[in-house]
Structure 1
Amino acid sequence: MRFGMFVPQGWRHDLVGIEPAEHWAVMHGIAAHADREDSPWESIWVYDHFHTVPTPSLTEATHEAWSLVNAYAASTSRVRIGQMCTCMSYRNPAYLAKVAATADLVSGGRVEMGIGGGWYEHEWRAYGYGFPPVRERLGRLREGVEIMRQAWTTGTATLDGEYYQVDGAIFQPQPLQPGGIPFWIAGGGEQVTLRIAAKYASYTNFFGSPEEFTHKSEVLRGHCEKLGRDFSSITRSANFNTVIGSDAADVERRLAALEARVAPYLGPDVTARFIADYRGPNSLVGTPAEIVAKLSSLRERGLEYVITYQPELAYDRSGLELFEQEVVPQLR
């Protein structure tokens, strides 16, 4: 099993109480921790969003994803760098292909392309993108991935699509990675998203309950068979809200600290829903033994790559270190 981690960037109210002038030092310090030669982390990740969740804040930061990707590309040397996931419609795909190729060169060939259709309606409308129906968002995803694939494998791209048109766009220099930057197609939509993944992805990123993970894996397998793609060539990944403690009391202490930190910004009702997310299927909350047991079960269902989001990293790295010491060695 392979491991990546999200670096806090403010989107999930994970830099509150820290002065904006100090944000980069905090974020870079965590990235540098992951980048150590003896680190168990294969990758670091950011979110591609503009407004905080679960409610948009007029005062709290959300740092822009691709600016951070390039900053990490220049300031780290080993760890791979991704976004989970880039919203296709937020940037013209030809422009995005150029941005990503530059980041890949800066990083020495360490960029991952997480890409999806997008969902956060509030920021879509606030930034002037409208909020097209799912069919259009996924159509843009399909066409955009095709443009990027052409760009990174041929050095040029031409597409007269329903949503995007490019005509001999030139992409030099090429990414350093042979075959282009790997695609992580995010989302579990069975008719469209997983079909796009079966055609283009090196990685998928979806989850839910263990049973849902198994079901979507079989849907992906079916699309691969229809396209003549080797199902085993696609690595299945999932993201997890993660709170780890040395014992049950420590876990509850950490959850209580998280609740106290966000409550002044979210209010009681939203805070309650926010904390409830850490009890759902997309969570790794518990002692090391409990987390190892859950991930071991999911590994038997085909999960190969785990990306953790630990909300306390900007304030306390002891949970990160506990995960490194007592979870990763049991599963790598």
Structure 2
Amino acid sequence: MRVGLQVPSFTWPGAPGSIGPQLARIARTADEAGFASIWVMDHFFQIEVVGAAEEPMLEGYSALSYVAGVTERAKLGTLVTGVQYRHPGILLKTVTTLDVLSGGRAYLGIGAGWYERESRGLGVPFPPTAERFERLEETLEIANRMWSGDGEPFEGEHYRLEEPMNNPPSISRPHPPIMVGGMGEQKTLRLVARYADACNLFAYGGPDLIRHKLGVLERHCEEAGRDYGEIERTALGTVHLAPGQMGADDVIGTCRDLAGAGIQHAIFNMPNVHDIEPLETFGQEIIPAVTDL
């Protein structure tokens, strides 16, 4: 099993001046500890399950570019970009740039989006749910075309690209992995089966729910003529390594449960990640213990 780190909050002592140095310290420590990936949310306001909307929030791709400059090994991505935030052609150029400058370490994490408050707050159109899924599917089509070198015009219902040129090309081959985030059985997991290289599920529902969702994904793969084994199966959860909260053995047990449910890449956020010690515990105790799961 691979282990990833998500950093969803930047509400740290001394902010905003402390945010850059602290993020660099977190990223370097995670990279050296053996985390396979480092992720940030693609939000502009903080989300309610993490904190108040007014809390500090960095723009995702700027933050990842900064992280790329202080790390060497970990893959980098957003969990996940809402499709309404960026035009597909610009999004693909942005992710390609991250991939080139990081030496081939980018993911494209994407989903249908849901946070209406930040869209309305910043003047970003927020279409109805059905239309956002239509736009997501077109964006996935465009991603596969642009990253294959297909420069022919694209004419969709929502997007029209006359010349989808993408130079320089990505370093990742055949392209940065496309991860679709979400648990929806009828739309999201069907799009994973048709277009994506990875899925991202929530670990909070427990192994039985994950096992069920992966079973749905496998059926969608069968219907699409897709090899289920080609899709990287990831899950996002929270751990709190601290006295009176969780210990290394608890996290190892969580990883074991996720692996048993079919997850290959467990991504965790930590409310006390800025203390650094939890990252060191992962590197010394947890990552070595779960590598062979």
Compute the TM-score of the two structures, normalised by the length of structure 1: 0.82
Give secondary structure in 2 for the equivalent of 1:244: coil
Moved more, 286-295 or 145-154: 286-295
Contact 1:194–1:219 (CA<8 Å) still a contact in 2? yes
Secondary structure at the residue paired with 2:254? helix
The alignment partner of 2:42 has SS state of: coil
Q: In 1, Cα distance between the equivalents of 2:72 and 2:158?
A: 37
- Aligned equivalent of 1:26, options 2, 22, 26: 22
Q: Secondary structure at the match of 1:136?
A: helix
SS of structure 1 residue aligned to 2:161? strand
Alpha-carbon separation, structure 2, partners of 1:74 and 1:163: 35
2:140 to 142, 145, 165: 145
Q: Which residue of 2 aligns with 1:289?
A: 249
Worse overlay, 154-163 or 210-219 = 154-163
Say whether residues 1:49 and 2:23 are aligned partners.
Answer: no
Equivalences for residues 59-70 of structure 1 within 5 A: 60-70=55-65
Tell me by how many angstroms 1:56 deviates: 4.4
Aligned residues: 287
Among 212, 216, 239, which residue is 1:215 paired with? 212
Give the CA deviation at 1:191: 1.0
Code of the residue aligned with 1:21 in structure 2: it is G
What are the ranges of 5 or more consecutive residues in structure 2 without an aligned counterpart? none
Distance 1:320 1:8 in 2: 15
Residue equivalent to 1:108: 103
Summarize the alignment of residues 79-228 of structure 1 with structure 2, pairs less than 5 Å apart.
Answer: 79-156=74-151, 158-207=153-202, 208-228=205-225
Q: Distance in 2 between matches of 1:66 and 1:89?
A: 15
- Structure with the larger RCO, 1 or 2 (CA within 8 Å, 6+ apart): 2
Judge conservation of contact 1:4–1:306 (CA < 8 Å) in 2: yes
2:289 maps to 330
Q: Distance in 2 between matches of 1:189 and 1:8?
A: 22
Sequence identity (%): 35
Find the aligned partners of 1:77 and 1:7 in 2 and give their Cα distance: 18
Secondary structure of 1:44's aligned partner: strand
TM-score, normalised with respect to structure 2: 0.92
By how many angstroms is 1:52 displaced?
1.4
Output the aligned Cα RMSD: 1.6
1:6 corresponding residue in structure 2: 6
**Separation in 2, partners of 1:105, 1:140:** 26
Query: AA paired with 2:20?
Result: W
Please, which runs of 5 or more residues in structure 1 have no aligned partner?
Answer: 253-285
TM superposition shift of 1:242: 1.0
242, 259, 271: which is aligned to 1:311? Answer: 271
Larger CA Rg, structure 1 vs 2: 1
Query: What is the CA-CA distance between 1:297 and the residue it aligns to?
Result: 2.1
Question: How much has 1:156 moved relative to structure 2?
Answer: 2.3
CA distance in 2, matches of 1:294, 1:96: 34
Distance 1:306 1:51, change over 3 A: same
Counterparts of 1:294 and 1:109 in 2: how far apart (Å)?
A: 30
In 2, distance between residues paired with 1:62 and 1:187?
A: 22
Deviation per residue, 1:81-135 (Å, 9 max, x gap): 1111111110001011111111111111111111111111110111222432211
Distance, in Å, in 2 between the alignment partners of 1:149 and 1:224 is: 17
Q: Find the aligned partners of 1:26 and 1:173 in 2 and give their Cα distance.
A: 32
Shift of 1:327: 2.0
C-alpha deviations, 1:34-86, integer Å up to 9, x for none? Answer: 222xx22111111100011316444x321100111222223322221111111
